Amino acid sequence: MLNGKKIIVVFPAYNAEKTIERTYQEIPRDIVDEVILVDDHSKDNTITAAKRLGITTVVHDKNLGYGGNQKTCYREALKRGADIVVMLHPDYQYSPKLVTAMAALISSGMFDVVLGSRILGGYALKGGMPMYKYISNRFLTAFENILTKQKLSEYHTGYRAYAREVLLSLPILENSDDFIFDNQILTQVFYFGYRIGEVTSPCSYNEDCSSINLKRSIIYGLGVLGNSLKYVLAKRKWRNYRMFDWDRGRKITLE
C-alpha cells in the first residue's frame, strides 16, 4: 500500500512469454499489493510463464482485443479492492520502476489519472521508437491538444495509473475493444473533469515489444481524429454520445 491505498498492477497480455518475467521482477513490491495478468488468448506460453511466477492470471477464451483486455483488467482489479490501478504492458517497453511515482501522485490526492510519457525528456527516439511512429505520435498529440484544449505531451502511451473512482464512474464499457480504447478513455477523463498528470517515462523498443502494423496504425490514427471530433461535438452539446453520457453510458459493475 501507499498512503493507505491498495495498489494493483494489471498486465494486458498477448504473446508476452519472453518479456513477462523481466517486467514482473522490476515491479516495486514494497508498495504493490497484487499483480493481475489478463491473457487475451495468446498463442505462446504466456499463461504458463505467468503462473510460474505466481501472478494472478485471468484467461480469455477468445481474443477480445486490446480494449477488451483492459476492460477485464480493470474489472478484476476493482473486484479485488484496488484503490489505484496501474496498467503496465508486460513487454518491458516501459520501466516498472515508475509504478511508485505514478501511484504516489494519485495516492497523495494530486491527480486522478497519471500517464507515463515517452515524449517528456526526449526518451522516445532514444529508446528506439521508430521515426514514423514518433512523427505520427507528435502530430496526433498536437491535433488532439488543439481540439480538446489540453496540454498533454503524449496521448498514446500504454503506461497509465487510475484512481478507483475514475474507473468506476467513467462509461468505459461504451468504448471500443480495439486500440482506440486508450484514446477514448482520455477524452472521457477530460469530459468529466478528472485531473490528469504526466511523468517522464523512458522506453525500450526491442524485438519482443508488442506493436501494430502500418495498416492498423492508420486505422488507429483515423480513429483518434474521429474520437477528438466526437469530444468537441459532445462538449458543445451538438451531439450526444453514450461514451460521454454519465447516466446512460455503460460502466463497470462489480456484481
- Is residue 124's pLDDT more than 90? no
Q: What confidence tens digit (pLDDT) does each residue in 145-184 have?
A: 999 999 999 999 999 999 999 999 999 999 999 999 999 9
| pLDDT at residue number 57 | 98
Q: How confident is the model at residue 207 (pLDDT cuts 50, 70, 90)?
A: low
For 79, other C-beta atoms within 10 Å of its C-beta total 12
Q: What percent of the chain has pLDDT over 90?
A: 86
Q: How confident is the model at residue 245 (pLDDT cuts 50, 70, 90)?
A: very high
Q: How confident is the model at residue 217 (pLDDT cuts 50, 70, 90)?
A: confident
| pLDDT at residue number 205 | 83
Fold of 7-244: Spore Coat Polysaccharide Biosynthesis Protein SpsA; Chain A (3.90.550)
Q: Strands 34-39 and 56-59: what pairing?
A: parallel
Q: What confidence tens digit (pLDDT) does each residue in 17-29 have?
A: 999 999 999 999 9
Nearest in space to 65 (alpha carbons), one of 205, 191, 176: 176
- 517497453: which residue's cell? 93
Nearest in space to 93 (alpha carbons), one of 186, 182, 16: 16
Where exactly are the structural domains of the chain? Answer: 7-244
Burial of 113 (0-12, 13-18, 19+ CB in 10 A): buried
What DSSP element (H or E) covers 11? strand 7-13
Nearest in space to 110 (alpha carbons), one of 244, 2, 203: 2
- Is residue 68's pLDDT more than 90? yes
CA 139 → CA 35, 148, 150, 160, 235, distances in Å? 34, 14, 14, 21, 22
- 491538444: which residue's cell? 145
One-letter amino acid of 69: N
Q: Which residues contact 121 (CB under 8 A, 6 or more apart)?
A: 200, 202
| pLDDT at residue number 208 | 62
d(CA 106, CA 162): 8
For 218, other C-beta atoms within 10 Å of its C-beta total 12
| pLDDT at residue number 206 | 72
The x, y and z cell numbers of residue 77, run together, are 482489479
| pLDDT at residue number 211 | 60
d(CA 83, CA 69): 20
Please give the torsion angle defined by the CA atoms of residues 189, 191, 192 and 198, in that order, rounded to the nearest 10 degrees.
30
Q: Which residues contact 146 (CB under 8 A, 6 or more apart)?
A: none
